[in-house]
Amino acid sequence: MFAYGSAMRHSAIQKQMQPIDRVTLYRTLESLLDKGIIHKAFQENNEIYYAICGKSCNTNTHKHDHAHFKCTKCNIVSCLELDEAIKIALPSYEINKVSIHMEGMCDLCQ
């Protein structure tokens, strides 16, 4: 994933990891998620895209102050840093996580 430079689809990871079996891959990805090494960046058509976490993630929490953008032309999913933190408040609710997924055309495809 690190060498890929953006989020990777589960099926692409599985293809790169051949001849690993599906159960071993699933357990490995779950372990990397639990340790704060990767995060689920995007989900579409029952396929999850995984991306490398930043330094703020660990075993106890995933802290992501970024948005996920999927280019509708090249299908690359990118983690984009935000200029300002997202602040959302809902009366009578405790918010633990906010996830922003955007779609459009990336700067390379425009």
- Evaluated on CA atoms 79, 41, 56, 90, the torsion sign reads positive
Find, among 39, 45, 50, the residue nearest to 13 by Cα. 50
Backbone angle region of 44, left / alpha / beta, with phi > 0 → left and psi within -120 to 50 → alpha:
beta
- How confident is the model at residue 97, as a pLDDT? 73
What pLDDT, in 10s, does the model give residues 73-89?
Answer: 999 998 887 788 777 88
What pLDDT, in 10s, does the model give residues 36-82?
Answer: 889 888 888 899 999 888 777 777 776 666 788 999 999 999 888 77
Find, among 9, 5, 55, the residue nearest to 29 by Cα. 9
pTM: 0.75
What pLDDT, in 10s, does the model give residues 93-109?
Answer: 988 777 788 999 999 99
Find, among 106, 3, 86, the residue nearest to 52 by Cα. 3
